[in-house]
Chains A and B, each alone.
Chain A
Amino acid sequence: MARSVDSAKLFGLLLLFWLLLNGSVAPGTIGVGAVVAALIVVFFGGSLSFLSGHRLTPDALIATLFYLGYFLRELVRANLAMARIVLSPSLPIRPAIVKLRTRLTDPVARLLLANSITLTPGTLSVELKGEWLYVHWVSATTTDPEEATREIVSGFEKYLEVMYG
């Protein structure tokens, strides 16, 4: 059962991607896209399962929107912070590599978390080992794992947990 739902999600995603790339909904375009998407699902469905981990409940969709909003805000803040550092004559940085813990288990959720951390103020994911995430932090305020987790990870984690369950 779960497998057929995953296949349907993967099929929908591939077809949507194809239609967006083509920018047209002519019957011929949809037909070709449907056939190719179905073939990809049949032959490569197993190894593409990471594409269909996203949950489709209303809660998860709302969390996705909030996540995007939060992410874009953090991205702008990251750039303004970086601009301030780069333009200051004294180059005010206090770098450190700190260790964080994540509760996420889904591989795509963890990828999104690591990517989000890289794009948010002053932090860059360096290594992911088990539940530990090593992050290079340009203006570190703490080197304590628990506190760093609260400051860097929690904002994203609460949305990703709903999205990927």
Chain B
Amino acid sequence: MTGPFALIGALIVLAGAAFLFLGGLGLYRMPDSYTRIQAGTKATTLGTLLVLAGAAFLMPGWWIKLMLILLFLMFTNPLSSQVLARAAHRAGIRPAPETRADALADDQGDAS
């Protein structure tokens, strides 16, 4: 298919892919679990959002379902990251040494 819609859609999908790539790079470069979760969550949420928005331009008939998928992702993606982070903290995984403060560990009385 051709036309301006196809071009706009393809560009939006490309932008989404770029953010997903940066998320992957973040996973590789960040020093500890928490910062990795941070890099992963934000990039995948915006990246997937853009890919879906681009798909809506390419396939206009699908846009309502794509928006529903998007809504679910925006609810569940951060939730799973938060649960991962909490599980990591409860399992006693220490943040990277450059971390300045850990209020949660302080409050639980097992300050490092």
Contacts and interface: CB of A to CB of B under 8 A. Distances in A.
**A and B: bona fide binding partners:** yes
Interface of A: 17, 20-21, 23, 75-76, 78-79, 82-83, 85-87, 91, 93-99, 111, 114-116, 118-119, 122-127, 132, 134, 136, 138, 140, 143, 145
A95 B34 contact: yes
B101 A140 contact: yes
Contacts of A138: 35, 38
Contact of A79 (B37, B43, B77): B43
28 contacts: A20-B65, A76-B46, A79-B19, A79-B46, A82-B23, A82-B26, A83-B43, A85-B26, A86-B22, A87-B25, A91-B31, A95-B95, A95-B96, A96-B102, A97-B99, A99-B103, A99-B104, A115-B79, A118-B81, A119-B42, A119-B74, A119-B78, A124-B34, A124-B81, A126-B86, A134-B103, A134-B104, A140-B101
B92 to A, nearest CB: 13
A96 B112 CA distance: 13
Interface of B: 19, 22-23, 25-26, 29-32, 34-35, 37-39, 41-43, 45-46, 49, 64-65, 67-68, 74-75, 77-79, 81-82, 85-86, 89, 95-96, 98-105, 107
Q: B interface, by DSSP: helix, strand, loop or mixed?
A: helix
A87 B39 CA distance: 12
A21 B71 CA distance: 13
Contact of A124 (B85, B96, B105): B85
Contacts of A124: 34, 37-38, 41, 81-82, 85
Interface of A is mostly: mixed
Nearest to A75: B46
A99 to B, nearest CB: 4
B103 A143 contact: yes
